[in-house]
A and B are shown apart, each in its own frame.
Chain A
């Protein structure tokens, strides 16, 4: 019911969100970071929600995008288009290699190996001079996207916000299209019933590899924008913070809901930016949210609301007007 209305609601909602940081008194920085981390989380979301595997390597794709951007921009003076291509190539290539390595692995072992990959990548970033070692890459120039006679670019968060927002919309569209695509349907089948998938002639390994590799560019492109937003890239990108942030964003609200990772990211970063209690307590809140979401609320916040509504608002079908009404 809400599915048919969604496209008409989406446009005013998008405009509203786009104008929101200005109305709230110029909080473009926080909104930009929310958009960036949400895009990164969507990469993980496809793998977790659709493929049913928990990848702990998506911080690597995110960092790969950021590092490629930082290195290309500072060492070669590359513009935004080149760094974008570099970030996408770096993330996708690493995902392809890792995907081929982990092709036969499932569930816990898959997660363990992807975690191992993250640890190895972190050690390499810390120690390899080409990547700037533990100092990282600093002094990244501002975003610059020459388009024929036009010179698009962003020198501060206010100017960066439209890019982040546009990229976020693009990501939402891509994820939605993915879930409606053949590959998306096959991924769900492989997830829910691998035997039936095999019997139906689906090449399970190919689907798994396809979805895994497809998920990487999302996280990598987020890294691309993050490098410009922070003007610095360093091995701190491999810290568990980003991993826990992405995982929490994906599981907090609910699985296979288009807006869930975005709302999850907004809740987490919103708390950190506007309701911060200092780094230590923020870490406790973030970790606690992850524990709660999985151990106490199996369906995430969405499941909680559904149960609450099912109990209290039984006779009122209009209670179904949540913005997350479509898949």
Chain B
């Protein structure tokens, strides 16, 4: 009974994790870029969703769109500032710059939304029903469905469609792609806009499960690393499986061993994997 509840929790959590990591899957896997401000975009988007629902009285689906729009804007702004570094493929500098952006976003959120924790109530979170003796809310189901939908779309759009091929070509050799007539700059902007929109969507879906604070986002970044790296960089199906696995692991570890150390344990696994198989993450064999 308890095990079933934890398993179902884990499945919901796992879809949330996978959804949070979608943006990074594309960012790192396809365009070979990183964003350490990922967690702070999640935080800001959660606040935007809350503000649109509680402050403006907009319906929840519209609030989700508003949050995604904010995510796109943030993504475009960040990419505009880093364009030179992106063209130079200077990953380490991009990493530090995005850390700086994250710090800025935290300040902006504190300034605009204040330091009080907020709770986002959606109409879906009031509906709950029983599955195999375990309770879930409609919000949980929506997380699972949106998660599956996002990954299905990504799979067909990225691994089958021309869009993915273009982005991959840009990542492989930006100069050659430019010669082939691809507007490289536009691809980079599109990838970052997608990253912002994806994490904002995840925030709008997942954030109703927890209080919204300016300090959230840290854990989401960790989860994203684990999902993207363990799933195999650039593998859509791998990210989905890793997200699901991590969710179930976290729920079971949290339920039966120690809730405080659940994500830490997952991160320990990540460190071991990275150290034992650094090639799994090789951007260009051995770095530069």
Contact = CB atoms under 8 A, between A and B. Distances in A.
Interface of A: 53-54, 101-102, 104-109, 111-113, 115-117, 119-120, 123-124, 126-127, 240-241, 243-244, 247-248, 251, 279-291, 294-296, 298
Contacts of B264: 119-120, 123-124, 127
A283 B95 contact: no
Given A113-B274, A123-B264, A126-B260, A244 B82 contact: no
B249 to A, nearest CB: 16
Closest A-B pairs by Cβ, 6 of them? A283-B107, A290-B100, A287-B104, A287-B103, A106-B287, A280-B110
A127 B107 contact: no
A101 B278 CA distance: 11
A124 B97 CA distance: 27
Given A286-B103, A291-B81, A105 B267 contact: no
Given A116-B225, A294-B100, A105 B275 contact: yes
Contacts, number: 138
B101 interface: yes
Contact of A108 (B34, B82, B104, B275): B34
B270 interface: yes
B283 interface: yes
B175 interface: no
Interface string B261-288: 1011001101100110010011100111
Interface in B176-235: 218, 222, 225, 229
B95 A116 contact: no
Contacts of A117: 271
B260 A107 contact: no
Interface string B83-103: 011000001110111011111
Contacts of B287: 106-109
Nearest to A54: B92
B108 interface: yes
A240 B99 contact: yes
A288 B275 contact: no
Nearest to A293: B100
A105 B103 contact: no
Interface in B50-105: 81-82, 84-85, 91-93, 95-97, 99-105
A283 to B, nearest CB: 3
B38 interface: no
A120 B110 CA distance: 26
B274 A105 contact: yes
Contacts of A288: 100, 104
B270 A284 contact: no
Contacts of A241: 103
Looking at chain B's contact residues, the main secondary structure is: helix
A116 B267 contact: yes
Contacts of A120: 264, 267-268, 271
A290 B97 contact: yes
A171 B178 CA distance: 48
A283 B107 CA distance: 5
B159 to A, nearest CB: 24
Nearest to A109: B281
A280 B108 contact: yes
Given A111-B92, A119-B222, A126-B260, A284 B108 contact: yes
B103 A251 contact: no
A135 B225 CA distance: 28
B36 to A, nearest CB: 8
Contacts of A123: 260-261, 263-264, 267
B111 interface: yes
Contacts of B15: none
Contacts of B218: 119, 240
Interface-centre pick from B95, B101, B263 (highest chain A CB count, 10 A)? B95
Nearest to A247: B96
B104 to A, nearest CB: 3
A114 to B, nearest CB: 10
Contacts of B107: 279-285, 287
A296 B82 CA distance: 8
Contact of A109 (B104, B267, B274): B274
Given A243-B99, A287-B103, A295-B93, 18 more contacts: A108-B34, A108-B92, A108-B281, A108-B283, A109-B283, A111-B92, A117-B271, A120-B264, A123-B261, A126-B260, A127-B260, A244-B103, A285-B107, A286-B100, A287-B107, A288-B104, A295-B81, A295-B97
B100 A248 contact: yes
26 contacts: A53-B92, A54-B96, A109-B281, A112-B225, A113-B271, A113-B275, A116-B225, A116-B271, A120-B267, A123-B263, A123-B267, A240-B102, A240-B103, A244-B103, A279-B107, A279-B110, A280-B107, A283-B110, A285-B107, A287-B106, A288-B104, A291-B100, A294-B97, A295-B81, A295-B97, A296-B81
B97 to A, nearest CB: 5
